[in-house]
């Protein structure tokens, strides 16, 4: 596997970026005490780690990386992304909310939440990740919300199979794509709706679900209540929230959010290059990725044994290994994969680092999946700043014990 280095990106620049502004941005200038730092808090739930807000209205906020010491990301610590904010609550109240299934179907449906509860229930644990997660690390900068590490989370999603609902409606021979529309609306009528579509194969996949619950609790409004789509293994722009309309059709959805936004070049491109429309494909599957959850950026550690921990996941495959480097990528050692393993969830990992010496050190991690995808030092540049999966890095200060 090649290292997809974006043009002009060198390892030195990557590490210089890690050492500079990012360190302070992530710690807010606060450093942990040596006692705190020596114990990264294995397994202990985070207490006071609010989301980091990028945009207040509509809310775009990311999860601080230390929350990823937990396997499941708590609902109130799960990143929030929405183009227009949630619909007015009365539009999605159970008394008025309906799911319409229309288009190339034999029997159009209008389902209440009660109707949906008659289908078999299924729970899938899956990572939901914004396509723009890590956009802040692309060089040159790509326009859009400058997400760092936390526009992703791992949750258990409970609901019914989209396939079962579509089969009740009965697909016709023309069914190629499923268009998805939620109840959220832009403030101005001139702004396009967040209309998306997925290929019918993904819609009929037995793990694709219409979710009403998140981590065992009713789906929060910010995360799409009363109903959202979960496309396990795929980027979150397909996970339409506040879902009201399913339309079976021959073509991909039209409009800005399917035809212009959330597209990725199918060949390497240079920054500023004009890309022909046929060379841009919708963002679909996730790419292999790992993150360091502890120690935190900027931590002060007593020299000795330090437990490094994090998570790793990939789109349609499984995590084979996670490696850690504490010498700026010259040598790599394998981390231990621990905890639950489920197809679309992330895998936790741990690495016991014997620091030796003292001074400023950078911890790097990279994951490999069973399809031979290796997390690259830096991800290929693309105009949307999507699919960042460069090596993760955390910089710490090691002090004589
Ligand atoms: N209806 C609707 N669904 C949506 C969006 C939206 O703006 N409107 N944003 C999408 C994007 S880009 C992301 S990253 C995820 C975010 O899901 P979360 O807020 O539950 O983390 O929702 C997706 N579903
Ligand atoms: Mo997103």
Helix (H, G, I), strand (E, B) or coil at 135: helix
Residue holding tokens 């990386």?
65
Whole-angstrom Cα distance, residue 208 to residue 62? Answer: 25
Could you tell me if residue 14 is left (phi over 0), alpha (psi between -120 and 50 degrees) or otherwise beta?
alpha
Whole-angstrom Cα distance, residue 120 to residue 125? Answer: 17
Topology of the domain comprising 289-399:
Immunoglobulin-like (2.60.40)
Beta bridge partners of 66: none
Task: Give the pLDDT confidence score for residue 47 in this predicted structure.
Answer: 55
Task: Give the pLDDT confidence score for residue 94 in this predicted structure.
Answer: 86
Rg (CA), the chain: 22
Does residue 60 have its Cβ closer than 6 Å to ligand 1?
A: no
Taking ligand 2, which is a single-atom ion, which protein residues have CB atoms under 5 Å away? Answer: 81, 130, 237
What residue ranges do the domains of the chain occupy?
11-282, 289-399
Residue 130 CB-density burial (10 A; 0-12 exposed, 13-18 middle, 19+ buried): buried
Tell how far CA 10 is from the center of its chain: 26
Closest ligand by atom to 60 CA: 1
Helix (H, G, I), strand (E, B) or coil at 19: helix
Q: Are strands 99-103 and 109-111 parallel, antiparallel or unpaired?
A: antiparallel
CB 72 within 8 A of CB 155: yes
Whole-angstrom Cα distance, residue 215 to residue 221? Answer: 14
Cα(207) to ligand 1 centroid in Å equals 19
Task: Give the pLDDT confidence score for residue 2 in this predicted structure.
Answer: 35
Closest ligand by atom to 220 CA: 1
Closest ligand by atom to 384 CA: 2
Does residue 236 have its Cβ closer than 6 Å to ligand 1?
A: yes
What residues contact 213, with CB distance under 8 A and at least 6 apart? 157, 158, 159, 219
Considering the four listed CATH numbers 3.40.1390.10, 3.90.420.10, 3.40.50.1100, 3.40.50.2000, the one that applies to the domain covering 11-282 is 3.90.420.10
CB 278 within 8 A of CB 226: no
Does residue 132 have its Cβ closer than 6 Å to ligand 1?
A: no
Whole-angstrom Cα distance, residue 240 to residue 111? Answer: 17
Tell how far CA 150 is from the center of its chain: 8
Task: Give the pLDDT confidence score for residue 316 in this predicted structure.
Answer: 87
Distances in Å between the alpha carbon of 299 and those of 66, 240, 302, 360? 12, 37, 10, 10
Low-confidence ranges of the chain (pLDDT < 50): 1-46
Does residue 214 have its Cβ closer than 6 Å to ligand 1?
A: no
Task: Give the pLDDT confidence score for residue 80 in this predicted structure.
Answer: 98
- pTM of the predicted protein model: 0.89
Mutation test residue for ligand 1: of 183, 194, 198, 286, the one with most atoms within 8 Å of CB: 194
Half-sphere exposure of residue 381: CA atoms within 13 angstroms, side-chain side: 18
Residue nearest to ligand 1 atom 19, measured at CA: 80
Cα(129) to ligand 2 centroid in Å equals 7
**Burial letters for 222-234: b for 16+ Cβ neighbours within 10 Å, e otherwise?**
bbbbbbbbbbbbb
Q: Is the peptide bond before 58 cis (omega within 30 degrees of 0)?
A: yes
Task: Give the pLDDT confidence score for residue 401 in this predicted structure.
Answer: 81
The pair phi, psi for residue 57, each rounded to 5°, is: -140, 115
Task: Give the pLDDT confidence score for residue 48 in this predicted structure.
Answer: 73
């Amino acid at each position: 596997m090649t290292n997809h280095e974006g043009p002009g990106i060198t390892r030195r620049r990557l590490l210089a970026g890690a050492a500079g502004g990012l360190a302070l941005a992530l710690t807010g200038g606060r450093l942990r005490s040596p006692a705190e730092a020596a114990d990264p808090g294995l397994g202990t739930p985070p207490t006071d780690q609010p989301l980091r807000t990028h945009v207040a209205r509509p809310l775009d906020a990311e999860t601080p990386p230390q929350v990823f010491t937990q396997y499941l990301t708590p609902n109130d610590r799960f990143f929030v992304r929405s183009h227009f904010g949630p619909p007015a609550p009365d539009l999605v109240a159970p008394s008025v909310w309906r799911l319409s299934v229309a288009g190339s179907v034999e029997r159009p449906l209008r389902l209440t939440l009660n109707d949906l509860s008659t289908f078999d229930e299924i729970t899938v644990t899956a990572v939901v990740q914004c396509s723009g997660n890590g956009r802040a690390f692309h060089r040159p900068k790509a326009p859009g919300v400058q997400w760092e590490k936390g526009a992703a989370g791992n949750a258990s999603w409970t609901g019914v199979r989209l396939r079962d609902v579509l089969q009740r409606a009965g697909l016709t021979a023309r069914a190629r794509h499923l268009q998805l529309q939620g109840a959220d609306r832009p403030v101005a009528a001139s702004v396009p709706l967040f209309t998306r579509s997925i290929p019918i194969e993904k819609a009929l996949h037995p793990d694709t679900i219409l979710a009403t619950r998140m981590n065992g609790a009713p789906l929060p409004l910010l995360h799409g209540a009363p109903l959202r789509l979960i496309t396990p293994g795929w980027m979150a722009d397909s996970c339409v929230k506040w879902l009201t309309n399913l339309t079976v059709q021959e073509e991909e959805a039209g409009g800005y959010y399917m035809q212009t936004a959330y597209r990725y070049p199918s060949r390497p491109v240079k920054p500023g290059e004009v890309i022909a429309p046929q060379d841009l494909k919708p963002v679909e599957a996730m790419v292999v990725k790992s993150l360091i959850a502890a120690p935190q950026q900027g931590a002060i550690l007593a020299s000795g044994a330090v437990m490094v921990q994090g998570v790793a996941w990939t789109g349609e495959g499984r995590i084979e290994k996670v490696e850690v480097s504490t010498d700026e990528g010259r040598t790599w050692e394998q981390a231990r994969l621990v905890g639950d393993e489920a197809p679309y969830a992330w895998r936790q990992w741990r690495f016991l680092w014997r620091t030796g010496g003292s001074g400023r050190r950078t911890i790097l991690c990279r994951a490999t999946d069973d399809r031979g995808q290796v997390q690259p030092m830096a991800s290929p540049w693309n105009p949307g700043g999507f699919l960042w999966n460069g090596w993760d890095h955390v910089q710490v200060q090691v002090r004589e014990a």
